Every structure is written in C-alpha cells, then in structure tokens.
Amino acid sequence: MRQLKIFKSIETELWNMEKEINSWAQETGAQIVSVTGNIAPQTGGSTSHGFASSDVLVIVLYEPAA
C-alpha cells in the first residue's frame, strides 16, 4: 500500500532537507513513486538580507520496503 511522507524546511536550508530525504529513503528502503514540492513565499518580516526565508514542503509518495 502506498504511503506519504511529508518533509518541511525553509529555503535557506534546502541542502539539509535534501540530506534528510535521502537518508530517510536509504534507511527505510522505501520505493519512491513520486516527489512533489511547494514553496510558500513569506510576506512581511524582513531580515538583514532582505526577505524572510520561505517555507518549503516536499511530499514523497512511496511504497514501504517489503
């Protein structure tokens, strides 16, 4: 039965999110069917670099290891 796994991070830490997803997939032996992502731009609250980091959501559809 296919299942979902949701990962959430911010755009300035995408490298960390990628590492987390790859580690999870390797450790669980999940058979990934599809990956979908979304970025939600932040409004207001600027930082010294400009705007606040946007939220990033990645949804992985997978088949658990047998």
Range of the domain at 24: 3-63
Residue 33 is predicted with a pLDDT of 98
pLDDT classification of 53: cutoffs 50, 70, 90: confident
What mean pLDDT is predicted for residues 45-61? Answer: 79
Q: Are 53 and 9 in contact (CB under 8 A)?
A: no
Tally of CB atoms within 10 A around 54: 14
Residue 20, pLDDT > 90, answer yes
pLDDT tens digit sequence for 27-49? 999 999 999 999 998 766 555 55
The pTM is what? 0.82
Q: What is the mean pLDDT of the chain?
A: 90
Give the count of domains, the chain. 1
